Every structure is written in C-alpha cells, then in structure tokens.
Structure 1
Amino acid sequence: MNALKQKPSAKKAAKNRAPIRVLLAAGGTGGHVYPAISIADAVRAIHPDSEILFVGTRDRMEWQAVPGAGYDIKSVWISGFHRRLTPQNLLFPLKLIVSLIQSRSILKNFKPDVLVSCGGFASGPVGWVAAKMGIPVVIQEQNSFPGVTNRMLAKHAQRIFTAFEAADQFLPAEKITLTGNPVRSRISVQNRDEALDHFDFSSDKPVLLVLGGSGGALAINNAMEEAIVDLHHEHNIQVIWQCGKKYYDELSARINTSDFPNLRLLGYINNMPAAYGAADLVLTRAGAGTCSELMLIGKPSILVPSPNVAGDHQTKNAASMVENGASVLVTEPELDELITVRIHELIKDQQKLEKMSHAAAKLAKPNAAHEIADTLFEIAEQRNG
C-alpha cells in the first residue's frame, strides 16, 4: 500500500502550475521531521521543479534524516528551554538572537513563496521572522495537543493543518483544516507469507509486534521482559520486539534468545513493511506518526501512551482510535499487570482483530501530504499573482 496516493488531477495540475519555493522548518524528533519530508515529497510530486529547503539544528536527527531523503538543510543555533535553571538556559537569549539573524539570512537568500512549520524549536525563530517579512506561514500540527512552537506561531499562520480534532481547542478554528498526518510516502505492508518468511515464523501462530519508537520505550521493555515467558512459552505467540538501540545490549545480555526460538529481539527494525505484514497485533506508544501509520495500514493495536510528553498528548492522540474501536488503551502504571492479559484477549480473537483493523482503516487519511502540498501551491499562486 502506498501512503501517498495522488489525487487523479495531480499530474494535470502540475502542467498548469509554476514550480514553487518551499521552506520547511522542523526539528528535534521524527514526529516533526518525517511529516515535513512527506510534504516535500508531495510538493515535488505535483511539480518536480519546485525548490525545497529545510531548516533545523545540527545536533538533532533532522541533520541526517533530511539529506538522507534528498533535501538540503540549513541550521539555526536555537535549542530547547529547560524548565529548571541550567547552563544551557543561560545561553538561550544569545542563541535566540543569533537564530533570528540566521533565520533572516536564510529567508532573504532562499526567498520562499511559503514557509511550513512542522514543529520543534527550530521552527520558532524562522517562522516568526517569516511572518514579519510578509512570507505566508503554514502550520502542520501532528498531535492532538499542539507543541509550544506551533501554538506561538498560530496567530501568524495563514493556514493550519491538523491530524486530530482535539487540536482545534488550542488553535484558531477559522484557520484549521483537518487532513490527518502526512506519513512516509513509501510506508507499506508486505505480503503476509513473505513477511513471515522474512522473520522465519510459522503461519499457524499469531505474531505480536512491539514498538518503542526509534529510541525504544523503557517501560514497555521492562513489561515485555517480565511477560516474555508467558507470551512465548504459555501462549505460543511469535514476537517481533523492537527494544531500541540503546537498550538492546543490556536486554540481549539478560534474555537468552536461544531459549525463545519465536522471539526476534531487535534494536531497530530496518524492514517495517515486513514487520507490519507479519503482525496480527501491535503493542506501541501513541506518538502521532505511529497512530497515523496504524490507521493507514489498518493494524489493530494496544496503545501505551508515554506520560512524559507535553500536555499528555499521546493519551489524547490515542483517544479517537480507542473510541472508534481501532485500539485498546493500557496506561503505563497498568502495563505490568495487564500486558499479558490484554495481548492474550486480543491476539487469538480473529473476529475482534478484523473489527479493529476495519475501524483503524476508516480513520485513515492517506492523502494528507498531497492536500497540504496542493494548498501550498494555491497560497504561492495567490501571493505571486
């Protein structure tokens, strides 16, 4: 399945449209950066001659992810502001001033038709300077509780694209369009038989996919370590467990994988189409990108929201999926007690899994990136006359 499905008119529209210049500001985490890359891909799909530039910071993941996707990136010096007094906070005023100067230089040299803020602290200075220079600002907000940068930029924005209805109460309603989250343009699900072969799994046992995000989730790892004997030996469940690179060595030292022939303990999953294709059920955090992917591929899930995020936004992200029957919610304090119970209740109930899968697919918005890109062309055309 291709997550980026162009509208039938896209190729025709490209012939009638001039290329545009888009500056995308995003940084800090994949939740901000990958939607921005998806929007960039969609702009290029509408008109390949459009010029794209990213703004981020040198010490965060965008500095590798953006060039890896084939786009240029410029840096600003800004960093996050800590709630407690730290040496970094003492530098913050200087970093902000330098970042505003850097932002103005980037904007003057690149001359974008429109700026897109996908969140993260790198978006703040460049978005504010763009608004002061009269450059149209567009916001793409991934979470149900908007990040502080996008909340601050909202009053300057011409359009705001959201993924969850709950975000409406924090942003100017008259500017909002609910599009869903842009997801990786090549997200797909491998054929089940091929996916099972990839992991050397049997077709007669269910498969649980455990995700903790690229960095892993300590609480999920701890609960899985306690539950793996029951899940593997007692309930005959095959498990793909992505524990995160920083936890892999320690976990693999404690868990003798030779005692668990149907366990695949991985620091990072390189082949997500195979992992999704093999999985009957997904146990995961409730980050915006993960929720959007689960909707798009129609996978039933057990969501464990992280309590360590601003505004408890992962719980809010999960709410619509749970309310619509696509997911089951387990809070982190309940995890040790309920993980085996909830997995066992669901994973062998094919009728329940099918209902959850259909419910997830109904929530999907596969054309989010194209809808946003289409609007960027409209805004640029209006600005340029």
Structure 2
Amino acid sequence: MKIIIAGGGTGGHLYPGIAVAEEIKRRFPDANIIFVGTDHGIEAKVIPREGYPIKFLKAEGLVGKSLFKKIKALITFLSSIWGSYKILRSIRPDIVIGVGGYASVGMVLTAHFKGIPTLILEQNSVPGFANKFLGRFVDAITLTYQESISFFSKEKSYLTGNPVRKQILQRDEKKAYSVFPVEKERFTVFVFGGSSGARSINSAMVEALNYLLDLRQNIQFLHQTGEIDYDIVKDAYRRLGFNGIVVPFVYQMAEAYSISDIVICRAGATTLSEITAIGKPAILIPFPYAASNHQESNARKLQDMGAARVILDRDLSGEVLADAIRNLYVDEKARKEMQKAALAFGRADAAEKIVDLAISLIKK
C-alpha cells in the first residue's frame, strides 16, 4: 500500500497527518507513506524526525495578499501541479490524503484528475480557503466540528474528530521527567503559542511573572517561545527567580503535556484536540487573525462546555494572565471539573475512523 499525505505549513495541519500515518502503520506495517509539503513549512523539520520520507513542492497562500503576490502565488500553484504530477507518476499511490494548507492543493487536485482516491481532513469549525476549494473535488472530507458540514457536500462529509498522535495518548511520565527535568512536586504550567511561538503570549507571560512572585516556590514553567523571543523570555524567568525550562521549540509534546498541570496556548484545532483527548485544563488565548476568527470559535466552544478558560488577545495583559494562573493553581476542584469536561469533548479514536474511511475509498 502506498499513501501520500499532503499539506502542512503549521503543526495544526501536520500533526493530524502524522496521527493518521501512525494508525496506517499500526495496521499495515509494510505500508509506504510519503509526506509532501514545502521546504519552509514545519514539515521540513518534523517529518524527518518522525522517520517518514518527504517530498517538496512550491506553494504560497492567496488570502490577504496583494495583487502582485496573488499573481505570483498562482504561477507557483501551476508549478506545483506539474511537480505533483511527477510525484504521482513516480509513486503511484493508492490514495492521497490532504491535511490542509496550501501545500495540499496541487497534490490533491492533481490526484483527483488522475483518478486516484482523495480524502481531506478539516480540523477547524470554519474551513480555510484550501479545503473549501478542494472539497468540491475530493471523494471524502473528515470533520472535527459539526458546524463545518455546512461548508461541504453532506454526502461526502464524515464527522470523525481530529486525529491525535498515539504518543500524546500513551504518555510515559518517567520519560517525560527525563526529557524535561523539572521538579515533580511543583505545580507546572506549560506555555506555548504554536510552532513559531506567539509574541503577545510571550510578552504577557513575562509581565505576569511580576504578579506571581509570591508563588515562586510553588509553581514552575515549561515555555516554548519560538526563536525570536527566546533570549528575552529565558532571561525574565532567570532574573525573577522562577524555576522552569524555556525552549524555542518543543518536539516532545507528549512529554510536555505529561509534566504539566495546566496549559496556556492558542486555540488551533489540533492543539485543542490534543488537550481534550488527554483532559488537560487550559487557558486559551485565540490567535486574533485566524481565518474567519475560527480560533475564537474553537475556544468559545470549549469554554461553554467548562473545559477551558478564554482570554481574548485584545484583553491579554500580565495581570489578567497571572490572575487566571493563580485561580487555577488554588482551585483544584475547578481543574478536575475542566479535566472531566475536556475528556468528554475529546475524540481519541479519530485516527482509526479516518483510516477506516481511507481503506474503504481504496477498496472502491
């Protein structure tokens, strides 16, 4: 069996693809899985570490670009069609699975016109441009949210949930504390703002430390900053005497979740799928410029269920963030209730459902 998984650009698109690949490998150890993405997306770094081969196409976004950049992106798209054709001719896959992002468009579209079964994953409540376009052509669309069905053909849409990697679900606490050697008895806050970090979250967290000085002996942090803010954030923790680990990027997310009592993060669909699958209490700070404001929609849904607390980016400050951290630190009952609500929302079997669907398309 040969399978192409196309797309990426961000962890939100890529990690569900990895979860699907893991489930395929679990069932079919000899399956040949090839990822296709761009050389500047997160997939270029992550996929080789995961042990899968990857091929690159050129792809650029259209939404929110100037006329000149849109023309340039269209020319790049035509180039990606030719590149996709050559990859398909070489590999001859049984199915092409698109996981979102502009790197998926050329590959999935070309596969459709070559008569190869196609499937796309839609992680968000409001689909992005790439998936809305591809939804007209593909054989099946898997959805995380019921609300997404209105954007696609009902006959081709399947509510599966967003797939989560096995290592997220099967956590090893002993390994986690060897990867991140923090103190086991301290309350641990995991802060991250997506694969590239988030300036507003980093700045607010640095300011929040000044309001948490009385808790220095009780709480500690694991903070993924991104490359740009790394030195500034690391210096703030050191200067104010807080225990913790500051890194530009966290590859071992399962271990990071394992050591944390709460997380502070954006509200991308994949992040929410992970934290609900394992029942992790969260303070969500939706990215304010996400397409159709889908991150706020995602976050509000969890807050309404009691699974998270939401701070909008425009309302974010050090004092507000510190209060939210303090409230969850002192209120163990609230954390347990959030954990129960998160687990009720999470879908640990999404990858299995998606692979079932992919196999049925191949058999057809």
Query: Retained in 2: the 8 A contact 1:114–1:380?
Result: yes
How far does residue 38 in structure 1 lie from its aligned partner after superposition?
1.6
**Alpha-carbon distance between aligned partners in 1 of 2:244 and 2:110, rounded to the nearest angstrom:** 51
| Matched residue SS, 1:55 | strand
Query: Retained in 2: the 8 A contact 1:139–1:150?
Result: yes
Q: Closer, same or farther in 2 for the Cα pair 1:85/1:185, shift >3 Å?
A: same
How far does residue 105 in structure 1 lie from its aligned partner after superposition?
2.0
How far does residue 208 in structure 1 lie from its aligned partner after superposition?
2.1
Say whether 1:207 aligns with 2:196: no
1:21-100 equivalence runs, <5 A: 21-81=2-62, 83-85=64-66, 88-100=69-81
| Matched residue SS, 1:229 | helix
Say whether 1:218 aligns with 2:218: no
The range that moved more, 216-225 or 174-183, is 174-183
**Alpha-carbon distance between aligned partners in 1 of 2:24 and 2:252, rounded to the nearest angstrom:** 26
Query: Retained in 1: the 8 A contact 2:206–2:237?
Result: no
How far does residue 109 in structure 1 lie from its aligned partner after superposition?
2.4
How far does residue 320 in structure 1 lie from its aligned partner after superposition?
2.5
Query: Retained in 2: the 8 A contact 1:192–1:277?
Result: no
Name the residue aligned to 2:265: 284
| Matched residue SS, 1:214 | coil
Say whether 1:176 aligns with 2:157: yes
Q: Closer, same or farther in 2 for the Cα pair 1:202/1:92, shift >3 Å?
A: closer
**Alpha-carbon distance between aligned partners in 1 of 2:53 and 2:176, rounded to the nearest angstrom:** 36
Name the residue aligned to 1:155: 136
One-letter code aligned to 2:335 = L
**Alpha-carbon distance between aligned partners in 1 of 2:134 and 2:213, rounded to the nearest angstrom:** 49
Normalization by structure 1: what TM-score?
0.86
1:289-368 equivalence runs, <5 A: 289-336=270-317, 338-368=320-350
**Residues 240-259 of structure 1: per-residue CA shift (max 9 Å, x gap):** 32222221113334x26153
**Residues 164-187 of structure 1: per-residue CA shift (max 9 Å, x gap):** 222222222222212111122212
Q: Closer, same or farther in 2 for the Cα pair 1:271/1:96, shift >3 Å?
A: closer
Q: Closer, same or farther in 2 for the Cα pair 1:35/1:170, shift >3 Å?
A: same
How far does residue 285 in structure 1 lie from its aligned partner after superposition?
0.7
Pick one of 227, 234, 237 that aligns with 2:219. 237
| Matched residue SS, 1:186 | helix
| Matched residue SS, 2:167 | coil
**Residues 85-137 of structure 1: per-residue CA shift (max 9 Å, x gap):** 37544433332222212222222222222211111111111211222222221
Pick one of 218, 230, 233 that aligns with 1:251. 233
How far does residue 192 in structure 1 lie from its aligned partner after superposition?
8.6
The range that moved more, 307-316 or 48-57, is 48-57
Say whether 1:380 aligns with 2:362: yes
Pick one of 105, 110, 118 that aligns with 1:124. 105
Normalization by structure 2: what TM-score?
0.91
| Matched residue SS, 2:116 | coil
**Residues 212-244 of structure 1: per-residue CA shift (max 9 Å, x gap):** 122111111111111102223257433332222
| Matched residue SS, 2:166 | coil
Pick one of 112, 116, 139 that aligns with 2:93. 112
How far does residue 282 in structure 1 lie from its aligned partner after superposition?
1.3
How far does residue 351 in structure 1 lie from its aligned partner after superposition?
0.9
Query: Retained in 2: the 8 A contact 1:58–1:75?
Result: yes
Unaligned runs of 5+ in 2: none
How far does residue 298 in structure 1 lie from its aligned partner after superposition?
0.7
| Matched residue SS, 1:219 | helix
One-letter code aligned to 1:51 = N
| Matched residue SS, 2:316 | helix
How far does residue 274 in structure 1 lie from its aligned partner after superposition?
4.1
1:258-273 equivalence runs, <5 A: 258-273=239-254
One-letter code aligned to 1:376 = A
Q: Percent identity?
A: 33
How far does residue 149 in structure 1 lie from its aligned partner after superposition?
0.8
- Count the aligned residue pairs: 361
The range that moved more, 265-274 or 22-31, is 265-274
How far does residue 144 in structure 1 lie from its aligned partner after superposition?
1.3
Name the residue aligned to 1:10: none
